[in-house]
Chains A and B, each alone.
Chain A
């Protein structure tokens, strides 16, 4: 060990470049002073875990609608229950999940605090209340007298207000950070597409309200809804998930964070591709022309190139990891990446067959439940224990025995649920492809069961159910378990 100590001394003399923060203890009191970072209490978002809980509840509700046969293919693709389930997944589950994760993630990548913690709470309430209104509006839309047609507009406005608050809160530290690291630039691009998605969604809500109140025929929403979905699922959720995954995967697998040219290519092609597809597709609805069709095809090509580059970069990242034995959340995430690759192939088939603008159920299931939902569930399996650890044990560190983050989970227990989840999703995809309710509902039942199982594992991690105190500690011995601390727990 002596050699190691001498090495420490050398580093002090040679490489001390950036002094960011000083902790100074005097007379038994410990103070944080100086530096550019926010104080501890401001950097840990208080609303992240409750946001995750709401998101999971929304996801389970959407899954229940599919399992019980209220949605396509048992009902119409643009039917109220199908749209309710889709928005419960996209807004209630994925957007809330992403906003909750970003309220923790943005301070990590920017080293700056959010604008105001209370904005996270207000955004959560507005989005949840708005979502209830939207779901009510969708479900009652098909009824003869449309008793709650205004619910969709009011609910949509409430969701938009909540998203705006969340964006103000999250974008402030992002905009103040120069230069912004690559993951942050993915998130920034995702925010722009979120605004586009939200604007298009409101437009559809107002259009729908107008057509219902005038008792006229419903506008041809299906053609435009596709671009609303591409902006949301692609531009907002996929670009943001890519950025967050780059940071999380490299951080937890001890892989290089710098993605070099390939990372820039993924971002550049992704922004251009999604932007071009949505813009050209929407313009084509107004001004039909071969130029718009050509531009939209080019957009799809760029999206395909971006996702291909991302998947290739992930292979590179996994191979370059220093941590050979990776944890369950990173192993299970492979299911999400396989779903993304399958979605890419499905989209290519749709574009080649000229059906790109149509909402294709297998593609939607692969993207929403396989890629984004799968990535969300797997990463929650790390993020929730980590936040739980910080909340419960953070202030005990150095004072006595504390568990590791890994001690809060039981990987063999959760591995089965992840397997069932992805098996269920892929069975749902098959059911959607052959437009048959039984495999679709059966697959959804499997993935719902798995989501319930995983929710139970998250709860156990939060409660510390799996933490086992070493004998000396559990018998109230005052000594610290030095060997445990030095070498990790067995």
Chain B
């Protein structure tokens, strides 16, 4: 039986952006997540284009996804549009970084 999207998102909170030291889901780096036929399709971005850590993060997303019971395959697509900004963080993450609730884009 394939896992729900919430279960996958919860698992992906194990993956951090090393520079910010916070998980990629609550940073708002995961733009889209779909589970179909036990395959997890993830569309994500990085905090800055060309980030040297990006391949490590994407590999980690893949490997963490594969460890979820019921997941057969994981597809991760990296996109640069729309560009990430702190406005995409969840409120708790913005509070952690002392970023105002309504930062301008």
Listed in ascending order, the chain B residues whose CB lies under 8 Å from chain A are 5-6, 9, 13-16, 18-23, 26, 30-34, 43, 47-53, 55-66, 72-82, 85-86, 90, 92, 96-99, 103
Contacts and interface: CB of A to CB of B under 8 A. Distances in A.
A252 B47 CA distance: 10
Interface in A445-489: 480, 482, 485-489
A395 to B, nearest CB: 7
Given A108-B51, A397-B56, A22 B81 contact: no
Contact of B74 (A19, A24, A404, A488): A24
A404 B16 CA distance: 8
Contact of B59 (A30, A35, A389): A30
Interface string A1-38: 10011001101100111111111111010101001000
A67 B90 CA distance: 53
A389 B90 CA distance: 26
Nearest to A34: B77
A40 B103 contact: no
A337 to B, nearest CB: 22
B5 A5 contact: yes
B55 A40 contact: yes
Grouping DSSP codes into helix (H, G, I), strand (E, B) and loop, the B interface class, with mixed when no group exceeds half, is mixed
Contacts of A110: 50
Interface residues of A, number: 63
Interface of A: 1, 4-5, 8-9, 11-12, 15-26, 28, 30, 32, 35, 39-40, 43-44, 104, 107-111, 251-252, 254, 257, 322-325, 386-387, 389-390, 393-395, 397-399, 402, 404-407, 480, 482, 485-489
A325 B97 contact: yes
A111 B49 contact: yes
Contact of B21 (A1, A4, A404): A404
B75 A16 contact: no
Contacts of B97: 254, 322-325
24 contacts: A5-B5, A8-B33, A12-B32, A17-B81, A18-B79, A18-B80, A19-B78, A23-B75, A23-B76, A25-B74, A30-B59, A104-B52, A322-B97, A322-B99, A324-B98, A394-B18, A397-B18, A398-B59, A399-B63, A404-B16, A404-B20, A404-B21, A482-B14, A488-B20
